Structure formats: C-alpha cells, structure tokens
Copies of this chain bind each other. A is one copy, B any other.
Amino acid sequence: MKELQERIIRDGKVLSASVLKVDAFLNHQVDPQLTMNIGKRFAELFADEKVTKVVTIEASGIHFALATSVALGVPFIYAKKKKAVTLTEEVYSAPVHSFTRQETYQISVSKQYLQAEDRVLIVDDFLATGAALVGLTQIVKDAGAHLVGIGAVIEKSFQEGRGLLEKEGIRIESLARIESMSPEHIHFIEPAATRV
C-alpha cells in the first residue's frame, strides 16, 4: 500500500535493526484517514472470503479492526490481555510471549462471540515474531471457526512470524513488508503486480 509505505518513510523512525517506531501516525498518535484506508484495503483483499468476524488483540490492533469491520460490514472482536471482571463466562484462551516486554500473558475471547460457523479475518498492526498472531489463530481454531487469513499493517519480513504462520497454510496479507531497515533506509518488499 503506497500511501502507507510513503508515510512510514516520512514519519517512521528506525530505532535499531529490529525496532521501528510508528507512534506518530499508527500506534500512539493515529491518523484516522490512513487507518480507514488500511481497513478498506484489508476488506478489498479478503472481499471474496465472506468474512463474518474480524478478530484482533488489544490495544494497538483495535482501530485497524474497526476500520476493517466498517468496510466489511461485520462485527469485530478484540481479544483481552487480562481477564475483565465482566468476562464471567467461558473463554477461549492462548498464551502469548512478548519479546519486547519479556513476559508471557494470556489472551482470551469469550466463547459467546466466536462460533464454528464464523469465517474469521485476523488483523493486527505488526507481524514480526508472530507470537500474538499465533495465539489468535489458536483461539480461532479452538472455536472451530474458519480462518480466512491474516491482515498485518506492517510486516517485519526479516523476523520469523510469516514463516511460522505460512507453515500452517494461513494466507497473510501485509500492507507494508519491510525486508531490512536502518536509521538511514527502509527497504520494502514490493507486492506482486496483481496485488498492488
């Protein structure tokens, strides 16, 4: 997605070979129009998949899930990282290890909102190690629902996430795939012509 790549180049900051800061427009301060365009793009890419639910994880996937679910006209669910006092019923849950925070936490989705008939599109801000996304796919599988694929806003293609998920046969669409980066330069993997 050209608009997104240009914005990453303009306003993103590479802090190290693996840390890209996009909190000027994606995950702290947020550009609403770019976010809605990202949602539209995910909706286009998965238009033929008869998606019934968009699933993400709190917090930084939520606005992309809303944008996508507005474009698809279906509800979205955000997995919780802590058990809420109001989440009394049974939940599907999975462990996620955060490499940035060096901790493992449980994510959970109420069983009420994911059914075997659901066709699920997972979206998130980053695909890097894939830890959070593997947890979400586990939850979709536990619900017996059909996973149509994953939409990631930014992919760090030099990390292992895509490989892990593709091994499971999961379709992945990332709107900006970073092959390598340094404070001076960000190199994107260009999408195949048919998918621009």
Interface residues of A (CB under 8 A from B): 15, 19-21, 23-25, 28-33, 35-36, 58-60, 62-63, 65-67, 69-70, 73-78, 80, 82, 84-88, 100-101, 109-110, 112-113
Check if B15 sits within 8 Å of A70, measured CB to CB.
no
Q: How far is the CB of A76 from chain B (nearest CB, A)?
A: 5
Q: Which residues of B contact A63 (CB under 8 A)?
A: 62-63, 65-66
Q: Which residues of B contact A28 (CB under 8 A)?
A: 77-78, 80, 84, 87, 109-110, 113
List the number of copies, as a whole number. 2
Which of A32, A33, A70 has the most CB atoms of chain B within a 10 A radius of its CB?
A32
Give the contacting residue for A21; candidates B25, B62, B86; CB below 8 A: B86
Check if B24 sits within 8 Å of A78, measured CB to CB.
no
- The answer for the CA separation of A162 and B6 in the assembled complex, in Å, is 43
Which of A15, A21, A74 has the most CB atoms of chain B within a 10 A radius of its CB?
A21
Q: How far is the CB of A93 from chain B (nearest CB, A)?
A: 13
- The answer for the CA separation of A65 and B28 in the assembled complex, in Å, is 12
10 A–B contacts from the bound complex (CB under 8 Å): A19-B86, A28-B110, A28-B113, A29-B113, A30-B65, A33-B73, A58-B59, A62-B62, A63-B65, A85-B100
